[in-house]
Amino acid sequence: MSDCIFDKIISKEIPAHIVYEDEVVIAFLDLGQVTPGHTLVVPKKHVKDIFEYDEELAAAVFSRIPKIARALKAMNPDVKGVNILNNNGEVAFQSVFHSHIHLIPRYKHEEGFGLKWETHDYSHEELANIAQNIAKHVEG
């Protein structure tokens, strides 16, 4: 059994607010929402970071990013853009050593952006509503 939190989410050992899932990736809300809809896209195959991807896995994982990003934009007319962020290695602020891509909806210029960001706490119900709203916008 893996101690990796993302492996546990993939195997449904622990709950998550899933917005998209197929045979290659699972996408779910980050518990530390930088902005409403902050989503993590995680390959189901355990790879530590970008350096462990082969071309096939990279193509498969990254080909899912646009459809999830479009769903984030569609979920709320106030979404003006999306940051896509992937940290690789401790020095690059990777904190969970299972590769994952952050999709962070941006609502206004004043939100600012940096590698250290302020997160906001949301209730289980609020996260469930955000996840459901994104999931219904993911193209099949």
- Active-site position among 38, 98, 100, 124: 100
Give catalytic status of residue 120 as yes or no.
no
Which spans in 15-54 are helix H?
Answer: none
Which of 52, 59, 66 has its CA nearest to residue 20? 66
State the Cα–Cα distance between residues 16 and 14, nearest whole angstrom: 7
State the Cα–Cα distance between residues 84 and 103, nearest whole angstrom: 5
Q: Are 103 and 84 in contact (CB under 8 A)?
A: yes
Which spans in the chain are helix H?
Answer: 5-10, 55-62, 65-75, 124-135
Please list the active-site residues. 100
